[in-house]
Chains A and B, each alone.
Chain A
Amino acid sequence: MKGFWSHSAAVTLGGAPGSDSWNVSAGAGNILKVLAFTANWTTALAQTLDILLIDEDGIGIQRFASIASATGLKTATIPRLNDDVDTTTSSVHGSSRHVVLAGPDVRLVVSGSGGALNDVFNVRLWAKVSKGPGIITDGFATTATVNEVY
């Protein structure tokens, strides 16, 4: 199958304040190319919001967005050119024009610095897929409002 996957979900944080994350991988035998992605959450406490690519050991391969700690609504997206990172910039950030995921272990991660109980963050994803939808992994209650493959 050469298709497209649309996925939108609300993720409710079920625990005490702490580091919170949401992950997506392609899954075994599958490849994803993320074309458009948004993560947002609204927090009463000052928190950060990051998007990064991690390897099989959970180590960051590259970082795509790092929203500074703030209260209220924070939104991070893919793709971004991230032109604040240039030839003389020491940074773990790169442009996110193309984010490709393959197999079960390489993951795109949305990470917050610690939300409060019942905080909700929203994800919306649009991707090319080689065989089928990706695999979502997180430790919280997730309600997918859209999950379609064309």
Chain B
Amino acid sequence: MADDDDWGVWTFRVVLTQDAVGGGALVLDVSAGAGNQIHVTQLTATFSGTNTLDVDLIDEDAAIILKYVDLASGAAQSATIPRANVAVDTTTSSLLGTSLDGVWLAGPDVRLAATTGGAAQTNTLTLLILARVSKGPGIVVGGRSGGTPNLATPTVNEVH
């Protein structure tokens, strides 16, 4: 079994900005990348606008394997990993699960996705990550966003 005790530590921070006048949802996807494995131990996604904010584990077909955060529409919201998510118990019909043990990613296709509802022009989605990595940093893309997303150069992207 993969074990992260001897892996490096990756820290990462980036901002995705909605440039389109008409707006559109903002999405940031984190994958391990080909030949790499990562264990996300802390993640925070902050949306500057007013709408929903979700964090999901998605498969190769972009179907949700498990949902970790499901925030109703609100202003300036933040979503995090890990969370206990005690609202989901033995009898609750729900796509949510706990992320108390972090989230493991491997390869280029299974992704951890932070997704907003519709974002207005100039709204931002900020992503901060601390993860254990087997070979190198993960890969963060904003390619599934709507409108015209502008992914800034990461202000932090280091492996120790």
Contact = CB atoms under 8 A, between A and B. Distances in A.
Interface in B85-113: 85-86, 88-98, 100-101, 103-104, 106-107, 109-110
Contacts of A79: 97-98, 100-101
A interface, size bucket: 35 or more
User: Interface majority SS on B: helix, strand, loop or mixed?
Assistant: loop
Interface string A121-150: 000111011100000000000000110101
Contacts of B65: 6, 8, 36-38, 124-126
Interface of B: 1-2, 32, 37, 57, 59-61, 63-66, 84-86, 88-98, 100-101, 103-104, 106-107, 109-110
Contact of B66 (A36, A74, A82): A36
B37 A145 contact: no
Contacts of A40: 95
Give the interface SS of chain A, mostly helix, strand, loop or mixed. Answer: strand
A40 B63 CA distance: 13
- What 8 A-B pairs come out closest when comparing CB atoms? A150-B107, A4-B106, A150-B106, A84-B89, A36-B66, A77-B97, A124-B65, A93-B90
Interface of A: 2-4, 6, 8, 31, 33, 35-38, 40, 49, 63-68, 70, 73-85, 91, 93, 97-98, 124-126, 128-130, 145-146, 148, 150
Given A35-B104, A67-B91, A2 B61 contact: no
Given A79-B101, A97-B100, A148-B107, A38 B93 contact: no
